[in-house]
Amino acid sequence: MKIRAFTLSIVCAVQLAAWPLAASSQGLRPGPSGAAPRVAPRVIDNTPRAADYIVAIVNSEPVTNNEVRSRMARFQEQLAAQNQPIPPRPEFMRQVLERLIAEKAQIQLARETGIKIEEATVDQAELNVARSNQMDVAQLRRQLAAEGMPVNLFREELRNQLLLNRLREREVEPRVRVTDLELDAFIREQQGRTDIGTQEINLGHILVAVPETANDAQVAALRDKALRIQARAKAGEDFAKLARENSDAAGAATNSGVVGRRPADRYPPLFLQAIANLNEGGVSELIRSNAGFHLVKVIEKRRLSTMPGATVEQTHARHILLRPTAQMPEAAAVARLADFKRRVQAGQADFAALAREFSQDASNRNGGDLGWTNPGSFVPEFEETLSSLAPGQIADPLISRFGVHLVQLLERRQASLSQREQRDMVRNVLREKKLDEVYVTFVQEVRGRAFVEYREPPQ
């Protein structure tokens, strides 16, 4: 079982297709006499891992070939799990290298501007990863070792992700504002949309794989095979049976080629283009990708509204907040709240009384009571913790941008939203959309200011 390691709210989760930076924004310094920037060299993949070498320098910090290869392997697994085609290998390598360069430039900026991640915060992140994989930290570390991932490297990657999150919170979020005019325009646009991007789709998928080393004759033979399968599918044969018997896609023998319902933007653009004019039950023409020949059947299409509904599940919770200081660092705040949790569960203390005495926010006067709240009212890490609790349950201490929290879920309910509350939720949807757009621009700005020197591989 592969560890789903990166379940934090990762700010760098830009889609693969969006990684390449525009040439004008790459910020490569010209060579002598204003010569054109050097083109990034191809990362050679057949070098033994022990013989590592530098492929780029980012403000004096190296990016190594092994880093690129390791990141490529991770993304290949993610793309395969989502039945998405992998770009041609040279392009894939270039995109991953550019992604690593952009990340290193951001991490350097975060450190230069004084952002620090304490060990207690990394501990919390590691615990969250373990829980998302239904195991404890000790089990997580054993699994990582079995997969060849040193624990110190895993924790360093978590630390870097947290640095990127803090950088986004400080540098990007203050740039985003949503006016009433923008909100009204967004509501009108969403209500009038009918394009495929607003749909949730379930597809059947058959892949006739084409090896990278295939010659023209082999490619032609595999295309003929795919065309025969297509003809049988369009003639009405059971698509699931055809997938089980013929598809080279992972899991086809057990899932009968059914991808599963997902928003349209989670499918490869090639698939969306092929089914744009198909109704349910329709079978596409052949789709050619780097992986081979694809055939897809529309099992289900339904409208996926980006507008919040009039009824939502509200939560009623309370918390105790401690803000770390030089006298009480994060680790000490975590330990103190863990002791509060133990005392409350043992019946030795009252949660509300502890909140009134120790909590460092305005809710302390109400015993930490946060009242009834709608989805999206809290920061993501707080929301995620709330969603994992049963009524009455107290979570382990969690760390957010505001400090360290001890959270108890009191109850849940279904509630109808007023028109104003619905507008507030739509405002949050639009703000998140704008945040993603502004973040992409911010990454390009940081990347553009970085000095990048590409290195040729050893001969």
Residue 317 is predicted with a pLDDT of 96
Q: Is 396 inside any structural domain?
A: yes
Residues 43 and 133 in one domain: yes
Residues 200 and 121 in one domain: no
Q: Is 258 inside any structural domain?
A: yes
Last residue of a domain, one of 303, 321, 339: 303
Q: Is 249 inside any structural domain?
A: yes
Cα-flanking dihedrals φ and ψ of residue 116, to 5°?
Answer: -130, 150
Residues 24 and 162 in one domain: yes
Q: Return the closest-CA partner of residue 134 out of 7, 275, 277.
A: 7
CATH number at residue 41: 1.10.4030.10
Q: Is 176 inside any structural domain?
A: no
Last residue of a domain, one of 275, 303, 331: 303
pLDDT tens per residue across all 459 residues of the chain: 555 444 333 333 333 333 332 222 222 222 222 233 333 333 444 444 446 899 999 999 999 999 999 889 888 877 776 666 778 888 889 999 999 999 999 999 999 999 999 898 898 888 888 877 778 899 999 999 888 889 999 999 999 999 999 999 899 989 999 999 988 888 777 666 555 556 778 899 999 988 888 899 999 999 999 999 999 999 999 999 999 899 988 777 777 888 877 777 778 888 888 888 888 899 999 999 888 899 999 998 876 554 555 678 899 999 999 998 888 988 899 999 999 999 999 999 999 999 999 999 999 999 999 999 988 888 888 888 898 899 999 999 998 888 999 999 999 999 887 878 888 888 888 888 888 889 999 999 999 999 999 998 887
Residues 292 and 316 in one domain: no
Q: Is 11 inside any structural domain?
A: no
Residue 381 is predicted with a pLDDT of 83
Residue 445 is predicted with a pLDDT of 94
Residues 298 and 318 in one domain: no
Q: Is 434 inside any structural domain?
A: no
Residues 22 and 160 in one domain: yes
Residues 144 and 30 in one domain: yes
Residues 41 and 111 in one domain: yes
CATH number at residue 236: 3.10.50.40
Last residue of a domain, one of 255, 278, 303: 303
Residues 326 and 290 in one domain: no
Give residues with Cβ within 8 angstroms of 203, minimum separation 6: 258, 259, 267, 271, 275, 296, 297, 298, 299
Residue 311 is predicted with a pLDDT of 77
Six-digit token pair at 149? 């991932």
Q: Is 77 inside any structural domain?
A: yes
Residues 299 and 329 in one domain: no
Residues 153 and 52 in one domain: yes
Residues 356 and 399 in one domain: yes
Residue 22 is predicted with a pLDDT of 28
The whole domain housing 21 covers 16-171+447-454
Number of separate domains in the chain: 3
